[in-house]
Amino acid sequence: MDQVLARLKPSSSNEVLVDATTGDDAAVLKFGDRAIVYTVDFITPLVDDPFNWGRIAAANSASDVYAMGGIPKFALNIVAWNNDDLPDSILVEVLKGAESVARQGGWITVGGHTVTDKEPKFGLSVIGEADPSRLLRNSGLKTGDTIVLTKPIGTGIVTTAIKSGVVTEHDRIDVIEQMAQLNDTASQAALLFGSEAATDVTGFGLLGHLYKMSRASHVAIELSIGSVPIIEGVADLVRLGQVPSGSKRNLAWVEPHLQMSEDLKSGSVLDDTLLMLADAQTSGGLCIALEANKVDQAISWLSERSVSAWPIATVGGYSEDGQIEIVP
């Protein structure tokens, strides 16, 4: 996609605060003394339960608004549906699931668009608002910042394993609830504790999204792989081969921008860990950059509101094209 965008010359305006230049999570347009945050996303079914598919898709779509420091206000449903094979009753459940998350997040779904497609897809186009002076950008990292992550990674591997029938019902329910969890509280914490940089961890995986932050901010990031929270049992699933092809492509894309610490031993364990770090996530958590002296307070504030957070990385010095330094 970078190669495609490089060939285009999109129109610009002084009112556009965030465009595609830095590969950020959403577009932002200044509107009076406020900012409009706009995003769109849709996914194929990750789970067999249509209601939960709708919940996950809605949380995933709204996440980009939260990652920019915004609050979702309105949404349009986007539906690609196989009318020949799938009854309307299933679509009703998908929409009900999405609406339950919309009520939780406080936005209104005002319509949508539907097309016929052999493979069903569902998502939302979401419009939010934000304070233009308090936007969270992927280009806002500062040397000395600590990056905290607000959800464990591994959802792509787990959902692949669900389709293979090698995940327990308990683990299936846990990962569904994690993906359906909104990033609203995490976004509030980022703003409350003075963050200027954030992103959500989705399709590019943790490594990919950290690299995009690094490149946009022109800094190096030191990632402690031992500090990254990983969903329980994911390492075993990797050894069973339950790794989606998208996660493998993610690793191949980001690997040239990784620098491995001499303290890390090469081998299958490290290879498996890198696959987990590159795992394509759906509705993942936020990576929030905070000043080091605010990290403990922010994590405590989030914990009081039933949101976990882990410090996983620090921001280093200048790097023109960005770089991820992997340490134990």
Show Cβ contacts of residue 109 under 8 Å, excluding neighbours closer than 6 positions: 74, 75, 76, 77, 98, 99, 102, 124
Residues 175 and 270 in one domain: yes
Segments forming the whole domain that contains residue 310: 146-327
Residues 189 and 115 in one domain: no
pLDDT tens for the 328 residues of the chain, in order: 666 766 777 777 889 999 988 899 999 999 999 999 999 999 999 999 999 999 999 999 999 999 999 999 999 999 999 999 999 999 999 999 999 999 999 999 999 999 999 999 999 999 999 999 999 999 999 999 999 999 999 999 999 999 999 999 999 999 999 999 999 999 999 999 999 999 999 999 999 999 999 999 999 999 999 999 999 999 999 999 999 999 999 999 999 999 999 888 677 778 999 999 999 999 999 999 999 999 999 999 999 999 999 999 999 999 999 999 999 9
CATH code at 7?
Answer: 3.30.1330.10
Coil, helix or strand at residue 15: coil
Residues 17 and 70 in one domain: yes
- Widest pairwise Cα distance in the chain: 58
Residues 287 and 323 in one domain: yes
Residues 213 and 71 in one domain: no
Q: Among 103, 134, 165, give the residue marking a domain's end.
A: 134
Count how many domains the chain has.
2
Residues 278 and 213 in one domain: yes
Cross-sheet strand order for the sheet of 197-200: 197-200, 286-290, 146-149, 310-318, 219-224, 323-327, 258-260
Q: Among 89, 105, 134, give the residue marking a domain's end.
A: 134
Say if strands 71-81 and 16-18 run parallel, antiparallel, or are unpaired: unpaired
Residues paired with residue 146 on neighbouring β-strands, in sequence order: 290, 314
Residue 141 lies in a domain: no
Tokens of 73: 């206000």
Residue 139 lies in a domain: no
